[in-house]
Chain A
Amino acid sequence: MSRPDMIKDYQGLAGWSDVGAPVVKSGQLIETNAGWRTLRPVINAEKCVFCLQCYLLCPDGTLVKDSGKLEVDYDYCKGCGICARECGFGAITMEPEED
């Protein structure tokens, strides 16, 4: 799944004009949005059979299969746990976030 570009060091319009207005170039993000996650899904690659059930069910599309094995995009994963619950092989566990 494609990811929107991030604007590093976002300062509104400051870079383009004299005005620091809170606007953003369309289709870009100024920050990731995973701040409220308390548990993170961790994939056990030895148990994963690449059935892609989790990939299909993740409501935020944060499971990435491009490398040939499943990975979680922690920048956007909200920690809902649907992937761990639906995994038929016990390959995903929810582990506490550490500060």
Chain B
Amino acid sequence: MIVDLEIRCPKLGHQVKFDYCEKEQISLPCKRIIKCWQIYFPVEIYLKKKLTEEEWNRCFNEKPKEKILTLLELIDAAKRRKEKKGQSKDKL
């Protein structure tokens, strides 16, 4: 039943199913998953069983970063990827 249910995702702005929320961060669920789904079933308990303690903490207990700091990290990561790509081209 849960797999068929759709709720509105406040981040994307349209309906999504639970399996999207469960993999929103690829290997981790969306950080909002409990807030959005808890009313429908004990998602917190379900995830505690499914995730390792490290994954749980990474998903739910890490202090959120300010957007501007996230942007700085993404800029650095993008620069590194571009440098790596440039090096690969040089080798060729």
**A and B associate in one complex:** no
Binding site for A on B (CB under 8 A): none
- Where the two chains meet, the residues of A that have a C-beta atom closer than 8 Å to any C-beta of B are none
